[in-house]
Amino acid sequence: MKTTWGLENAEFLERTATTLGSYDGVHLGHRAIIDHLNAVKAAQRCSRSLLITFHPHPQEVLRKNNTTIKLLTTIEERLEFLAHTGIDEVLVIEFNPEFSKTPYEVFFRETLLKRLGTSAMVVGFNHAFGKNREGDIEHLRSLAATDHIFVDEVPPLIIDDVSVSSTKIRHAIIEGNVQQAMHFLGRPYRLQGTVESGDGIGKAFGYPTANLRIAENKLILKDGVYVARTSIDGVHKPVALSIGTRPTITDSDARVVEAFLLDFSGDLYSQDLKIDVLAYIRPQEKFSSTDALTAAIARDVEHVKAMFAA
C-alpha cells in the first residue's frame, strides 16, 4: 500500500476509484466499504483504489466546549491496519479549521475530480463531507451525475442484529466489553505505547511490568486487569495487563497502563510495544494489604496462562 501525506503530494491518476472518511478503528464495517471499493475498481476498470482519510481526526478540530475526543486508532495504527485491506493507496489530508470550511461541491470537483482523477466513488450509508457535512449521498449523486461519475453506497454491516460503527465499539471499550469490541473490529483492540521508567513496584512484588506511555487521544479500556498478548522479535508473548490508578499502593488518581510479559526477561525501556487485548479478568480493586495484592496478581497470571494453554 502506498501512503501519501498531504494533498499537495498526491498524484493525479485517471480512472481512480475513491472512498473517503475518518475510518477510525478500521472495523469490519469499514472493511466492507473497502472490499466493495476494490470490487468497483475491478468492475469499472479503474487504475487504482484510493482511500482518503484525515489527520487530525475532524472531531478533534471541530470539538466544542473543550470536549475530549478519544480515538480507537492513532493515525499510525490506522495506516497499519489499512495496509492489510488490499487498498492501493491512502492519502492523508491535514484537517484544519480552514479545510473544514471547504464546500462539498468545491471539494468534489476541484479535489476528487481535477486533482485526483476520480471516476468512481464508494461511500458508507451515513457518509457526508464538506462544510457542515452537507455533501450527503443525495448531493453526491446529483454532482456525480453531471460529471458521469459512478457512485455506490454500501449499506451498514449488521452483526448479531446490530449495525457496526466506531461509536458502538467505543462504548464497548469504555465498558470493558472486550469480546464485543473484538467482534466488531474483526481483531483484538490494540494499545500501543512506548515503555517508560516506572517506580519499580511491580518488580518488588516479583512481577516486573512495562509501563506504557499511550497517546493522549487514544481510548483506553476501563480500569481493570486483562488478558493480552504482544510480540517480541516476532514471538507472541502472553501478557497480564493492568489499567488503573493502583489504589492499594498509591493515592494518586493518575491512570497507569502496565504490562507483565510472561516468559520474558530483558530490557524493554524506550521500546514500542503493541498490546492486543483479548479478555477481561476482573475490575481494579483496593486490597487490604500488599500481600493480598500479590496473591491477586498471582491469580491473574494463572488466568492468563490458562487462557493461552487452552
Name the grid cell of 222.
Answer: 476501563
- The domains found in the chain, sorted by start residue, are 2-163 (3.40.50.620), 189-309 (2.40.30.30)
Pairing state between β 256-261 and 162-163: unpaired
Supply the pLDDT for residue 200: 66
Q: What cell numbers appear for 301 in the block?
A: 497470571
Report the alpha-carbon distance of residue 71 to residue 185 in Å, rounded: 14
* Per-residue pLDDT tens listing for the chain (310 residues): 999 999 999 999 999 999 999 999 999 999 999 999 999 999 999 999 999 999 999 988 888 777 778 999 999 999 999 999 999 999 999 999 999 999 999 999 999 999 999 999 999 988 888 877 777 888 899 999 999 999 999 999 999 999 999 999 999 999 999 999 999 999 999 999 999 987 766 666 678 899 999 999 999 999 999 999 999 989 999 999 999 999 888 888 899 999 999 989 888 999 999 999 999 999 999 999 999 999 999 999 999 999 999 7
The whole model's pTM is what?
A: 0.93
pLDDT given at position 203: 67
In this prediction, residue 204 carries a pLDDT of 63
CA angle 156, 161, 166 (to 5 degrees): 50
Q: What gap in Å lies between CA 124 and CA 114, rounded to an integer?
A: 23
